[in-house]
Structure 1
Amino acid sequence: MDESSPTPAPDGRTAHERPGVYATPGAGFERDTRYLTTRITADGRDGWPVEAGRYRLVVSRACPWASRAIVVRRVLGLEDALSMGVCGPTHDERSWTFDLDRGGVDPVLGVERLRDAYLVRDPRYARGITVPAIVDVPTGAVVTNDFAQITLDLSTQWTTHHRPGAPDLYPEALRGEIDELGDEIYRDVNNGVYRCGFAGSQETYDRAFTRLFDALDRLEARLTRRRYLVGDTITEADVRLFTTLVRFDAVYHGHFKCNRHRLTEMPALWAYARDLFQTPGFGDTVDFVDIKRHYYEVHRDINPSGIVPRGPELRGWRTPHGREALGGRPFGDGTPPGPVRDGERVPAGHGAG
């Protein structure tokens, strides 16, 4: 997520157990956005040139911010150029861990904790240990954890390594509209659910709740008349909205008190989310078990018992959505990605059937 292990807030406020976020009692939620902003680019302007096999993308499928990178990497076909390490859904106060791997050690980086790669980059690193992060394999150092820039660079800087038929998720002619809408989605929806969940007072919760559902109402109206958010193909904007929508009923509706409506009660958004979920590269990356375990087990100040709810029913994600009637071409002049690679499939029983 910007999901990380807890760090002291910059001004001494109490840090939440959630990664990279903090709040003042009685006030509102804030997110620690002090990222490592060095970029991996085609020209290597920051000292990190695009190079197949050199870097490792570290993610957790629990995390909506990391899920963006998982989707974009798969849709663009970057599996051979950029390997992926997957952390488990929970973490302790120190770091995300590679507890899904044999012996609890990432087989490429040779470390148990993502924190180790941050400390190679900066031995005095005191910010959030966040995912997604891209690590330079030869040195073992984190290059960047700037989640918003990571996916844009995968689209624009890694083009030499895109699969044949990869779509353009960030077309130059639409970038202004994608950026403007993406900023609104981040501010009012992606981050908006957190403002509700971690509100420190009734007043701040009420304000956050209204802001979130006002934004969802605007998106509902927009998606009633068009299949995708910008243009007639899937773009970066759709990726950014999808990773929040797919978690909405499973965690945000109950756990974060975002409960004016379930996603399933918002007709256009629910059909839109199912359309994307059933598109190769989207739903086949979603791990509902990891998602629920992370939120309900880690956020003990919100859910002290750590009990993970059994619901909601997930079979609806596979039902017909009817969005084809609005036109649009999911991958434009490109093609869908092929089957999920061996070793990268969501475990059986963790998806939507």
Structure 2
Amino acid sequence: MSTNTYVTGGQEYTRDTNYIEDRIIRGGDAPEAGRWPVEPGRYRLIAARACPWANRTVIVRRLLGLEDVISLGQPGPTHDERSWTFDLDPGGQDPVLGIERIQDAYFRRFPGYPRGITVPAVVDVPSGAVVTNNFPQITLDFSSEWTEYQREGAPRLYPEELREEIDRVNQRVFTEVNNGVYRCGFAGSQEAYDAAYDRLFTALDWLEERLAGQRFLVGETITEADVRLFTTLARFDAVYHGHFKCNRNKLTEMPALWGYARDLFQTPGFGDSTDFQQIKQHYYLVHKDINPTQIVPKGPDTSGWLTAHGREKLGGRPFGDGTAPGRVAPGEEVAPGHGA
């Protein structure tokens, strides 16, 4: 990112998905070739609460109970043209890495890194260098490569017997919903916006129909697919409906999706990882070309997230044969007044 300009005149928004493809895997023996070893205490996940892609990694880390083996660094809700900053930490530095910007970890590995300095990112603590920012793979690897260190009762978020369907659902949700809201918000022409808007709500209508008869997206339990959809739904009324002009209707006006979102929000790992205030600050302050006044709206009222959803009648077991995670780790709680 070179400036805080997100809209290109006359063009459809296209996301740069060329990420650092290194992986942390069991038996990883060649970091120089992109194969890093699973090693408790070695890595630090840098994940801003405001970012939906980063929020996913925080949820999965908590559901699987990996807090004690992969530490968490939390940048503030805003960034400038250079990168996300640790302005919420004492002295404006990450307490483990000792850096003011996640950019420093990127440059430690790739001097002058030319692409976007994004979160989430996993950093190798001993060297202070970024390992990967490939957010779709990070959560899958938490599920499949860190099994030895997951908590007792950890759910199966990416079970082999459901992977084909999970992957298929994830692909449509990513292109049409997760990224679809950005295509609306960053559209550079009326034509591009109209096309993005129609695609988004076609997909939301498909999800509304799918979730009217089943509690979760794939199978009888929470999976990776639910995590990926949730972080967009959590931001929909607070940001995407108005700021990104995704305004055919609010999430609260889609009965199945709204019930589904509340069901997940009230499940440990989801709502307790959601910071509505930081979410609003990020979008309304950073996207200056969309919101030049940088006024952050006071609404919407988030108390509805805690109301009864009635989804239990559809059956299903959120954690399958596993159990819910325990209390949020000290220092990782959502600030008072920032949640529902």
Q: TM-score range by the shorter chain?
A: over 0.9
User: 14, 39, 60: which one pairs with 1:72?
Assistant: 60
Match of 2:250 in 1: 262
User: 59, 67, 70: which one pairs with 2:47?
Assistant: 59
Distance in 1 (alpha carbons) for counterparts of 2:118 and 2:5: 13
Asked if residue 342 in structure 1 is aligned to residue 333 in structure 2, the reply is no
3-state DSSP of counterpart to 2:37:
coil
Asked if residue 145 in structure 1 is aligned to residue 137 in structure 2, the reply is no
Match of 1:84 in 2: 72
Match of 2:201 in 1: 213
Distance in 2 (alpha carbons) for counterparts of 1:305 and 1:25: 20
Distance in 1 (alpha carbons) for counterparts of 2:67 and 2:108: 25
TM-score normalised by structure 2 residue count = 0.98
User: 35, 48, 59: which one pairs with 2:19?
Assistant: 35
Match of 2:288 in 1: 300
Amino acid paired to 2:243: H
**Structure 1 residue runs of 4 or more that deviate by more than 3 Å after TM superposition:** 15-18
Asked if residue 231 in structure 1 is aligned to residue 219 in structure 2, the reply is yes
Offset of residue 24 of structure 1: 3.9
Distance in 2 (alpha carbons) for counterparts of 1:173 and 1:248: 31
Q: How does 1:120-135 map to 2 (within 5 A)?
A: 120-135=108-123
Match of 1:25 in 2: 9
Distance in 2 (alpha carbons) for counterparts of 1:16 and 1:83: 29
Offset of residue 17 of structure 1: 3.3
3-state DSSP of counterpart to 1:328:
coil
Distance in 2 (alpha carbons) for counterparts of 1:91 and 1:47: 30
Q: Contact (CA 8 Å) 2:4, 2:286: kept in 1 or not?
A: no
3-state DSSP of counterpart to 2:196:
helix
3-state DSSP of counterpart to 2:154:
coil
User: 163, 176, 201: which one pairs with 2:189?
Assistant: 201
Match of 2:149 in 1: 161
User: 240, 243, 252: which one pairs with 2:228?
Assistant: 240
Q: Contact (CA 8 Å) 1:59, 1:85: kept in 2 or not?
A: yes
User: 246, 249, 253: which one pairs with 2:237?
Assistant: 249
Distance in 2 (alpha carbons) for counterparts of 1:88 and 1:24: 26
Indicate the structure whose relative CO is greater, using CA pairs within 8 Å and at least 6 residues apart. 2
Offset of residue 124 of structure 1: 2.5
Match of 1:47 in 2: 35
RMSD, aligned α-carbons: 0.9
Q: Contact (CA 8 Å) 1:17, 1:298: kept in 2 or not?
A: no
Distance in 2 (alpha carbons) for counterparts of 1:24 and 1:262: 27
| Structure 2 unmatched ranges of 5 or more | none
Offset of residue 16 of structure 1: 5.2
| Percent identity of paired positions between Structure 1 and Structure 2 | 68
| Structure 1 unmatched ranges of 5 or more | 1-5, 8-14
Offset of residue 95 of structure 1: 1.0
3-state DSSP of counterpart to 1:135:
strand
3-state DSSP of counterpart to 2:74:
strand
Give CA-to-partner distance per residue, 1:240-267, whole Å, 9 cap, x none. 0000000000000000000001000000
Distance in 2 (alpha carbons) for counterparts of 1:26 and 1:291: 28
Number of corresponding residues: 336
Q: Contact (CA 8 Å) 1:61, 1:287: kept in 2 or not?
A: yes
